[in-house]
């Protein structure tokens, strides 16, 4: 197996000067000073050198439990929450714990390629449900129902979705939930972008539906909102009956999340209101900036404004394959988590490419247009 | 699946006052001040917030490559080294990357139970080669040879071995290497305790044998020598042909090792000579302390002095099953990585138990002898 196209591109971009990469989902801003100084205190106070409990620091799980309660989700710190080394580690622990080789997983595409990749690593059979682009990326339930078999163990959804920026509506959640109950599968709700919602109020999570509690694993990352991607910190929560299955697998994959990062997570959540509001305000501005620029390129591409997450996913004529799976062909993903300067420079380069179209596959090493390379690779 | 007995015990010990736990392999000392202050600098200089390259910070891999060279191992920073979130994550990435369900793995027991546990998670068939206790835990090569089939993909060995403290001799390494070449399997050499060697000079690694390069994955942790267990930092190295297979799996399990911990690893290795010598000197003292105490209990138990790692593994009459697999029945593992005070108090409690033998399974909640509980659980 090779790295994902996004990762290959990012590793290539790293190795080249003057590349503006809008591909990988990394916020440009530094982490909050309050987080840093608290972590420094913890380091100096001998608090981060030893393993924590497998599920994470009790005080962090307690805080997570309280925060969940504020959002209508009742999960016990003792046995229904696991602190993880980021969302990816939560995802791999969950998939490995809940499946055996040959089991089936349903993935809604276009989406984050790692769902498929982890499922392949776990020797699962992957069934792909293509979202309806013409219908704001909604789910076709007739097709979904037909995909379900008694080997279906997991349906994974990303809400808001990466890369489409679309959200799963309340109505869709209810219908998915009914299917999960009827056929006995688990819904992994990857809510890593949940607080990046540009609509009114808060975006609900399917985990708020208490009647579905035994069928949901909710995954949360602290990477995006808090600019903590490098720290590898996130968590998952689920009913005790499900967490008890994931617990040992988590232990086998990592022992415990890095304790220094758990302290970062603790302070991040203590200051969550302030920090996430700042993030949302900033990313809303960036969304307008990038979206308005894209509007000027309507002759060259088609796109929808995202309801959540921090990506535009325009469709460009003549662009090949898709990293994000079926239904995403001809699209590229542009992240507006970057700084304004990077967005402007990147969009200028994209415009040059689209309007003057001088780029060819073979000259990228001598190209002055770094963005062209990364965009081309993103969709290779 | 449940947690390992060691972990269950450790989690229980955490929840009870006044328990001296000599079970889990955690050094008691805090991390080095030089490491801490450099990490603090990196945090304040915006260096740890973003993902690193998948394989880890280039400067860290460069340093690892140089350190390996000093020890007679030639591995390229670019494509033969992966920085991991601890040895466990290196181990799980390696096993998942190099096997498919139904493949076979050979584990030498008694040993660290996680080899078997991860192999089970990966749906492998596990073959257990029992080391010969009467012969200083040596390998029986006739039996080993008979275990190998064309489905054998991995042999995993821990050198020095946890929990026996025994080492794999040069002669044994050569014989294992010949088998790996003949039958085409990979040897995972878990060298996390390599610098804790109480014999003359340095303990060699099988990875120093250049002729075996395509058959070795060597795993190194920075947890034990540098008191960095909570930071989750280690690395693996192997021939490019093998690393290229592990690389994507590593990405899927963790993205990259926590960057803040990578900086800790960088400074740890920059100061490796001083810090590992201090560790070795301290643990040598602790080994003498615990070993001399155990000598006074020869009427009640039997044991061998360990050549490496930081465990004694005494055999006690009437003690049930073994967490460490076949060949380890009736043994308990005692870690001398703890402080002198903890060792003395723990050994006093063990002596009370062995000599006065009042403890029963049912009264542990009211027992004053914390050590009894943890020891009993360790072998449950």
pLDDT, mean of each 10-residue run, chain B (380 residues): 73 74 77 96 96 97 98 97 97 98 97 96 97 95 98 97 96 98 98 94 95 98 92 98 97 97 98 93 96 95 95 88 87 92 92 73 34 33
What CA–CA distances, in Å, run from A152 to A72, A106, A116, A127, A173?
29, 7, 15, 9, 18
Distance CA(A44)–CA(B261), nearest Å, equals: 15
Q: A256 and B232: CB-CB below 8 Å?
A: yes
Chain A partners of B43 at a C-beta cutoff of 8 Å? 36, 39-40
**DSSP codes, B81-124:** EEEESSHHHHHHHHHHHH--TT-EEEEEES--HHHHHHHHHTTP
Beta bridge mates, A164: none
Strand partners of residue A125: A104
Q: How far apart are alpha carbons A225 and A228 in whole angstroms? A: 8
Contact B237, B207 (CB under 8 A): yes
Mention the CATH class of domain B274-367+369-373. alpha beta
Q: Does position A10 have pLDDT exceeding 90, yes or no?
A: no
Test A88 with B259 for CB contact under 8 angstroms.
Answer: no
**pLDDT confidence of residue A321:** 67
Distance CA B95, CA B90 (A): 9
Which of B1, B36, B85 lies nearest to residue A43, judging by beta carbons? B36
At residue A371, the pLDDT reads 38
Determine the residue among B49, B225, B262 to mutate to test chain A binding: the one whose Cβ has the most chain A Cβ atoms within 10 Å: B49
Q: How many CB pairs under 8 A join A and B?
A: 158
Q: What is the ipTM of this complex?
A: 0.91
HSE at residue B56, side-chain half, CA atoms within 13 A, is 32
- Write out the two tokens for A54: 């497998």
Q: Is A84 helix (H, G, I), strand (E, B) or coil?
A: strand
pLDDT for residue A29: 84
| B11 contacts A53? CB cut-off 8 A | yes
Nearest by CB to residue B255, choosing from A36, A88, A256, is A88
pLDDT tens, residue by residue, A201-245: 999 999 999 999 999 999 999 988 899 999 999 999 999 999 999
Q: What is the pLDDT of residues A138-171, one digit of tens each?
A: 999 999 999 999 999 999 999 999 999 999 999 9
Question: Confidence class of residue A11 from pLDDT cuts 50, 70 and 90?
Answer: confident
Cα separations (Å) of B174 from A362, B187, B190, B280?
48, 12, 17, 27
Q: Which of A331, A344, A329, A341 is nearest to A304 (CA)?
A: A331
CA distance B304 to chain A (A): 29
Q: Where does B33-273 sit in CATH, by number?
A: 3.40.640.10
What is the structure's pLDDT at B365? 32
> Is the pLDDT higher at A352 or at B10?
A352
Separation in Å, CA A210 to CA A71, A185, B173: 12, 16, 57
Whole-angstrom Cα distance, residue B231 to residue A47? 11
Nearest to B86 among A101, A227, A255 (CB): A255
Chain B residue with the nearest C-alpha to that of A12: B53
Concatenate the DSSP letters of all residues of B170-195 into one string: HHHHHHHHHHHHHHT-EEEEE-TTTT
Q: Which of A260-264, A345-349, B84-88 has the lowest mean pLDDT?
A: A345-349
Chain B residues within 8 A of A232 when measuring between CB atoms: 85, 254-258
Q: Note the pLDDT of residue B235.
A: 98
Report residue A1's pLDDT band, with 50, 70 and 90 as the boundaries: low
Query: In 3D, which of A228, A224, A225 has the Cα closest to residue A38?
Result: A228
Q: Cα–Cα distance between A337 and A343 in angstroms, integer?
A: 9
DSSP-assigned beta bridge partners for residue A107: A128, A156
In chain B, where are the structural domains located? 33-273, 274-367+369-373
Which of A52, A85, A252 is nearest residue B230 as measured by Cβ atoms?
Answer: A52
pLDDT at A370 over 50: no
B257: closest CA of chain A, how far (Å): 8
Please tell me which of the candidates A3, A228, A258 has its beta carbon nearest to residue B248. A3
């Amino acid at each position: 197996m090779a790295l994902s196209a996004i990762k290959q591109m990012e590793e290539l971009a790293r190795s080249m000067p003057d590349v503006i990469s809008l591909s990988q989902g990394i916020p440009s801003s530094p982490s909050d000073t309050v987080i840093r100084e608290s972590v420094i205190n913890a380091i100096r106070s001998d608090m981060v050198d030893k393993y924590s409990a497998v599920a994470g620091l009790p005080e962090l799980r307690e805080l997570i439990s309280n925060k969940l309660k504020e959002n209508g989700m009742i999960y016990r710190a003792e046995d229904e929450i696991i602190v993880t080394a980021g969302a990816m580690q939560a995802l791999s622990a969950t998939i490995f714990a809940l499946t055996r080789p040959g089991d089936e997983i349903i993935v809604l595409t276009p989406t984050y390629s790692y769902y498929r990749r982890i499922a392949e690593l776990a020797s699962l059979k992957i069934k792909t449900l293509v979202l309806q682009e013409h219908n704001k990326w909604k789910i076709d339930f007739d097709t979904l129902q037909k995909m379900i078999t008694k080997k279906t163990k997991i349906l994974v959804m990303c809400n808001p979705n990466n890369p489409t920026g679309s959200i799963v509506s309340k109505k869709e959640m209810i219908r998915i939930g009914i299917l999960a109950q009827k056929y006995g599968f688990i819904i992994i709700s990857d809510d890593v972008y949940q607080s990046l919602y540009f609509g009114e109020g808060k975006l609900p999570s399917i985990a708020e539906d208490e009647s579905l509690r035994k069928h949901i694993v909710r995954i949360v990352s602290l990477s995006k909102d808090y600019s903590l991607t490098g720290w590898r910190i996130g968590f998952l929560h689920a009913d005790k009956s499900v967490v008890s299955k994931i617990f040992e697998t988590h232990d086998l994959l990592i022992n415990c999340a890095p304790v220094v990062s758990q302290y970062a997570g603790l302070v991040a959540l203590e200051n969550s209101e302030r920090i996430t509001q700042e993030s949302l305000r900033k990313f809303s501005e960036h969304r307008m900036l990038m979206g308005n620029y894209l509007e000027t390129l309507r002759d060259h591409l088609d796109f929808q404004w995202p309801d959540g997450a921090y990506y535009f996913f325009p469709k460009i004529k003549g662009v090949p394959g898709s990293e994000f799976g079926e239904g995403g062909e001809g699209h590229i993903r542009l992240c507006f988590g970057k700084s304004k300067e990077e967005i402007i420079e990147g969009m200028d380069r994209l415009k040059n490419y689209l309007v003057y179209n001088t780029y060819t596959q073979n000259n990228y090493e001598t190209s002055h247009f770094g963005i062209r390379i990364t965009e081309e690779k993103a969709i290779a």
